[in-house]
Structure 1
Amino acid sequence: MLKRFIAFFQNPPAHEKPLPESDARHALGALMVRAAKADHTYLFEELQQIDKVLAERNGLNPVEAAKMRVECERLEAAMPPTEELAIILRNAVPAEEREAMVAALVRVVFADGIEHDEEDELLRQIELVLGVSAAVAKRLHDEAASKCG
């Protein structure tokens, strides 16, 4: 599957096709890894949160979620720029799922309990491209921040 996913990003005509479900799940996982690394650190709390989100969203046990995260970490390095990936995801998933994706990303970037400008900027970029309204994005941000502090 890793080879198919990398080939997906290397084949421009494929961007016009919707992502298969498994590829969309891995793309979101890789995007969570990228968001966690936006502040140039990748902390244990962020790893735990990524595993938790992957387990919840994909019906995985903790070991399966950790294995999926490792695949997503490898994929993150091969991914196109964040904006391009967000456009692919916007075209591949229904609107109601995009809000859930942003909620997952917010959970990851606030997992360490510290707001970083780099992470906030990345989240704003993704929210804009995915078409999540400013009001919804603010609500998701506030919910995550209140749980952290």
Structure 2
Amino acid sequence: MFRRLLPRLLGEIPAGAALSHDDAEVAVAALLVRLARADNRYGEPERQRIDVLLSLRQRLAPDEIADRRAAAEMVEAEVPDTERLTAAIRERIPREQCAGIVAALWDLARTDGPETLWETAAVDRIAQLLGISEADSARVREGVALATDPDS
């Protein structure tokens, strides 16, 4: 699944080569994994939440979701910078859909409690790289907080 994506992200295949939608979705999943691993506590709750978020993006069987997350974990470990992941996503996924990616990131950041300052900075940076303004990211964050925290 990620065999075409990884060489592309590592600069081994020219950027002009077409990227498949599935490869772009693996890049989205890799962003989720990168955020989940950021606090060095990448456990089962984060894995389960990533699986749920991936299932909301595409109708895939549970084994396909697990395969996509496993591919994303490998891609995330190999790709040195977030800019390459977001560039691959921007190339294939319309900007209007990038707000949904940012919403998934905010949702994931809240998996183990309120988002940390680092998670906030990371999601804001990813949103910027995806072409989402700081104001739009803040609105998405508020929406996710309201949807995931009944006391908000």
Q: TM-score range by the shorter chain?
A: 0.7 to 0.9
Give the TM-score normalised by the residue count of structure 2. 0.86
CA distance in 1, matches of 2:105, 2:18: 21
Give CA-to-partner distance per residue, 1:29-78, whole Å, 9 cap, x none: 01100011112211322211100111121211333212221121111111
- Contact 2:9–2:88, Cα closer than 8 Å, also in 1: no
Q: Tell me the equivalent position of 2:78.
A: 78
Q: Which amino acid in 1 is paired with 2:31?
A: L
Query: After the TM superposition, which residues 60-139 of structure 1 pair with which residues of structure 2 at under 5 Å, given as runs?
Result: 60-139=60-139
Q: Distance in 2 between matches of 1:49 and 1:117?
A: 20
User: Whose helix fraction is larger, Structure 1's or Structure 2's?
Assistant: 1
| Structure 2 segments unaligned to the other structure (5+ residues) | none
Q: Percent identity?
A: 34
TM-score (norm 1): 0.88
Structure 1 position 24 matched with structure 2 position 24? yes
Q: Which amino acid aligns with 2:129?
A: V
Partner Cα distance (2:20, 2:13) in 1: 15
Q: 2: distance between equivalents of 1:83 and 1:2?
A: 18
Amino acid at match of 1:65: I
Q: After TM superposition, which residue ranges in structure 1, 4 or more long, deviate above 4 angstroms?
A: none
Distance 1:120 1:38 in 2: 11
1:39, 1:116 within 8 Å by CA — same for their partners in 2?
Answer: no
CA shift, 1:145, in A, is 2.4
2:144 matches 1:144: yes
Which consecutive unaligned segments of at least 5 residues does structure 1 have? none
What is the CA-CA distance between 1:12 and the residue it aligns to?
5.5
- Contact 1:110/1:144 (CA < 8 Å) preserved in 2? no
Kept in 1: contact 2:33–2:72 (CA 8 A): yes
Change (3 A) 1:66 1:13: closer
